[in-house]
Every structure is written in C-alpha cells, then in structure tokens.
Structure 1
C-alpha cells in the first residue's frame, strides 16, 4: 500500500499520473541549479514528442494551499520557463477565480485551477501501483552507507537536474557516467540491488529522453553513415564537436610549446595521448545502435517504460520488458564493458 504523503506532494503525484496517461514523459522534483547555486525545484517537468521533428518541454508549478498566491506564481513560473528554455509553462492551483486564468492567459501561462484539480482526484487510486519520489529517496536513505559510499542521493539528484539544464550530448554523456556508478552498485552491493536498479532504470530513461530530443536535429539525415558519425561525434566530443575540442586542445598546448623546456616534444606527446584516449572510447557501440531509424522511433516509448520500471511498487526487472527496452540496456552494458549474460544472472532474484 502507498505510504502516506502530504497534501502538496500527493497533488504533484496525481498530476504526474494525469500527464503520464495523456502520453507525456514526466519527471518530478527536478532541482534547478545555476552556477552552483540551488535556485528551486521544478514540481513537474513534462516532455512530449509531438511529431518526428517537434518536441515540447513544459514545466508545472503546483500550489495546493489555502492561500495559493496564484498571481505571484504566474510571474515566478514565467521566469523559470525562460531560465530552463521550456516550451510551455503551467501552474496548478486550488484558486478558482476566473481572473487568475485570465491573467495566466495574458502571460501565456496555462492555469490548471481548483475545478480541474477536483476532477483529476480519480487518479489517486493509481498511486497504489507506483512509488513516490519520497519513497525512492527514503529507500536510498535506508542504506546507512549511501553517503559515504559515493553519496547516492546527491548523484541521483544531479542526474535529475540535468533534465532542466538542456537535452544535449554534454548532459547525455554526464548521465552515462553517473549511471555507470549505479550499475557498479548493482553488481557489487547485493543488499542494495533493488534500489540501485531502480535508480539505474530512472537514469536510463533520462538518457533515452535526451536521445529522443537530439535526434530531432538529425531527422533529415537520411544517410545512415551521416547519422552514425553525428552520434559518434556527440558521444565522443560532446556539444562542441571534434573540431572545436581539438582547437581548444591545440590552443592550450601552444602555451606548453612556447614556454616550456622541450615544449614541442611535450606538447606533441600530450596531443598524441589525448587523441588516443578519445579514440579508445567505445562510442562506436552507441553510435551504431542509436543511428538506426527503428531504434530512434522507439526511444521515447522506451523512456516511458524505463520510468515505470523505476517506480513500479511491485518491482520488475527489465529482462521481462519489451525487446526495445532489453536492447537499450544491452547496448549500455556493451558500452560499459559488462557481459550481458553475467549481468542478467547477477540481477535475477532466486526464490
């Protein structure tokens, strides 16, 4: 049975289920940080694939209080929309005054008022089948060594926060690095297998959403090799790409050449080592897989399935999921250099 949560958090969870049932990918409680400063949390972050070349990102500010201060929240969420470069901004409020909706319309902020919130209470029963964000965090906290052992909660929240900072190769690569940590916990901490797998599945869904967004710009590259090279370049060098990264490296090493003894030799060796390090990255595995049109068409659905795996109250493994989900995780295992069969054997629960 679902753990009791406070009124505000329950409203957030009910709204999350409403948007999930309407085809959105939904993340809740996204930390928004700017240059090291914790600014706020985004109550709901919505992502929708509206067409093969169009995506929408929406943010929802939710206030379920006696005095919701709806007018002020409209100003707030409008500024937050600009900060995170979202397509749409919404507020959900218990306020039922028509003036609030009118003011929201004037500022291009959609208002989900008290009448709407009353109608969606039917979705409360769906809370029984899903863990809330608070329960996931509680599971992390129940591992007494989680802070000393790599600070699990901070890493998980960092992964979440990347959704608000932009869907791109830089953040995809950061997510891949964070997820490697949790995959290693799956393999080495048998007592924490369930929670580490849940977090692994959640971050896999963030990766899938990033890739669905990235492919929007590659939709017109009909040639398979062009798509593959674009993905290879992105996974290896990030947003800046190979040319810009090499320009930065060359500029940095030019100082070594000019001002160090044997500078030319040292710079040449450094340039060679850096190049070999980039080339040794197994990004071809990811590029080969994600450049396939069939994979790209299914990656949004895969994200939805992975999100559900992460929060199913009755925990389920990905090995019982669709072929697309199993393939997605299999290619990540290949990228991390983990044997697929060994991993499957390690996560299966023995009765």
Structure 2
C-alpha cells in the first residue's frame, strides 16, 4: 500500500471512530452501484436515530491530500446527497479557508476542516479496540474466494453492503434475511470459524439497522397492528399482499389465455399453492419479537452492538454473548429453521 493511501485510510478510520462516538451507525468504504454498473464509492455512510419517529442518513467524503480540491468535492458530496435522498452530507478536508465555510453553509454541507481534522485524527488513530476495514476484510477472506461459484463469507459481506446506500425497503429486509441464512449455514459447515462469526454479527447488524428504519413508520400503531404490518412485509415484500394476489390473478389468467383453454380449476390450484407458500413463512416469529415494547425502542442500539461485536479485536463467540444478544440470534434461527443447538 502506498503511503498516501495508507494515510487516507488512517484518517477515514479516525473519522469513523469520531462518528461512532457520537452515536452514529457507520459503514466505511461503500461501493455505490446500479445493477452491474459501479458508479462511485462513499467514504463513510452514516445512520442516526434522532427520535422514535425520525431517522437520519448521510454521506461523508474525506479528502486527505496536499491539494484536496475542497470546493469540487463539496459539489460532489452534495450531489450524492441529493441524488440518493440523504438527509445530510459531510466533507472532511485537511485545509481551512474562510470561503470554504461560507460556501458549505450556504449549500447545506457540514464541513469538518483544520484544525478539527487533525485533532480527530490524533485522538482516534491509535484506537485498537476495533479492526479497521482493511483488517476486517483480511480476517474474512479465504482462499476459496477464487471460486466464483462458491458462497463465502466475503461474498455475503460484499452483497449486503451494496444494499446500504440505497433507500431501505421491504425487499431489502428479506434479502438480508436470506444472507443471514447463508452465513448461518457457513458458520455450521466451517465449524464456527472466525470469518463466519464476524460476518454473522455484521449481517445481523445490517438486518437490525434496516428493520429499525422500517419500523419507525409503525411506531404509533399498537403492537397487534404493527406486528401484522411487519408480518406482511416479510411475507410479501414491497408488493404487499393485495398487489401480490393481483399479480397472481393476472399471471394465471394469462396462462389460461396462452393455453387456449378455460381451466378455472387451474387458477384455484395455483392460488392455493401460492397462499400455502406464503403462509409457510413464519413471519410472526420475527414480528412478534420486535414489536414488543422491550425490543422495538432498542433495535437501533442492537444494530450498533452487533456491528461492534463484528469489528472487535477481541472477538466473542456466540456462547460468550449476553442473554439478550443470544435471544436475537435464536429468534433468527427459529425463523430460518436452523437448529439452535448447532449454534
């Protein structure tokens, strides 16, 4: 690694620790992509719980160069915020000019500049309780990464992170749940290896983060209503029950038209099997758990806790977790039909 890159990584990690200390959920080095096209990278992605009804999402651009091109990067950072619908954006620069602060203030950009930048770097650069992103990736990479067809911890890590820059929706939640099942299976197959434990904790934290952002919209509902809403999300995703049934009706009628025969009993059979598949999803296991008063106000904190567990230099095994942390994992095991005893 060249010295400039290494210096940039140190500053990024220091800024990450600064925002973590302020109660943010922080993800570093996010790749923004649409389908198979890579657009850009985001140095830090921030998530914050402001109140039971309000969440905040922000992007951070960090410039640690002799010529940081601060004004150009402010335009870029503000553009990312506007395009992705974030609430705030930050620019961290290693220079300081009065015109920079005026421009940032006039355009809604939060600017961290000298001498604060150096103060943050000096305060947090020797932090040794957490792995850096580079150290984390080194821990979870395996020789098997060369096999493009095989599911690995690193591929699960990469897939889940690609979801985070975009607007959270119900399908995202189900995608993360599918990845949690994959990492649970790897955890069992690989005999509880370090890489699977770390990615399990991190993937669970992503699930909790997205769940918290979704459930804020149900905060004013009673437990029964919010539980029903969450169950529907898990079963039907973004489409919802009514839209899913409507699509099923249209597909069945189209099939009958193509087959040039009227088979009303076929529609009943397809509808029955589809409903049977939907009903087999044990959504209430998750919805009943997280709509309890003891949990619903703490989901964001749970997300931060599991993220900290994933990056800790002193990795805890599942047996060393607190009873509450274990209950979160066991709840997911029950939903995903994974034997708790194998944990």
Same fold (TM over 0.5): yes
How does 1:214-225 map onto structure 2 within 5 Å? 214-222=214-222, 224-225=223-224
Matched position secondary structure for 2:134: helix
Distance 2:318 2:303 in 1: 12
In the alignment, which residue of structure 2 is the partner of 1:229?
A: 228
Q: Is contact 1:68–1:93 with CA below 8 Å preserved after alignment?
A: yes
Matched position secondary structure for 2:238: coil
Matched position secondary structure for 2:164: coil
Range with bigger deviation, 264-273 or 11-20: 264-273
Distance 1:201 1:138 in 2: 16
The alignment yields a C-alpha RMSD, in angstroms, of: 1.9
* Unaligned segments of structure 1, at least 5 residues: 344-351
Q: Is contact 1:146–1:153 with CA below 8 Å preserved after alignment?
A: no
Distance 1:67 1:227, change over 3 A: same
- 1:314 deviation in Å? 1.5
In the alignment, which residue of structure 2 is the partner of 1:172?
A: 173
Distance 1:321 1:61 in 2: 35
In the alignment, which residue of structure 2 is the partner of 1:346?
A: none
Q: Is contact 1:298–1:324 with CA below 8 Å preserved after alignment?
A: no
Distance 2:124 2:182 in 1: 34
In the alignment, which residue of structure 2 is the partner of 1:80?
A: 80
How does 1:271-310 map onto structure 2 within 5 Å? 271-310=271-310
Matched position secondary structure for 1:26: strand
- 1:73 deviation in Å? 0.8
Over residues 146-195 of structure 1, what are the superposed CA-to-partner deviations in whole Å (9 max), with x where a residue is unaligned?
644225433311201211112222101100111211111100013x7111
Aligned residues: 338
Distance 1:125 1:37, change over 3 A: closer
- 1:341 deviation in Å? 2.9
Q: Is contact 1:17–1:126 with CA below 8 Å preserved after alignment?
A: no
Distance 1:257 1:333 in 2: 40
Distance 1:283 1:208 in 2: 15
How does 1:200-219 map onto structure 2 within 5 Å? 200-219=200-219
* Unaligned segments of structure 2, at least 5 residues: none
Distance 1:316 1:123 in 2: 26
Distance 1:273 1:66, change over 3 A: same
- 1:290 deviation in Å? 1.4
Over residues 112-134 of structure 1, what are the superposed CA-to-partner deviations in whole Å (9 max), with x where a residue is unaligned?
11321111124335531211111
- 1:339 deviation in Å? 2.2
Distance 1:297 1:98 in 2: 42
In the alignment, which residue of structure 2 is the partner of 1:238?
A: 237
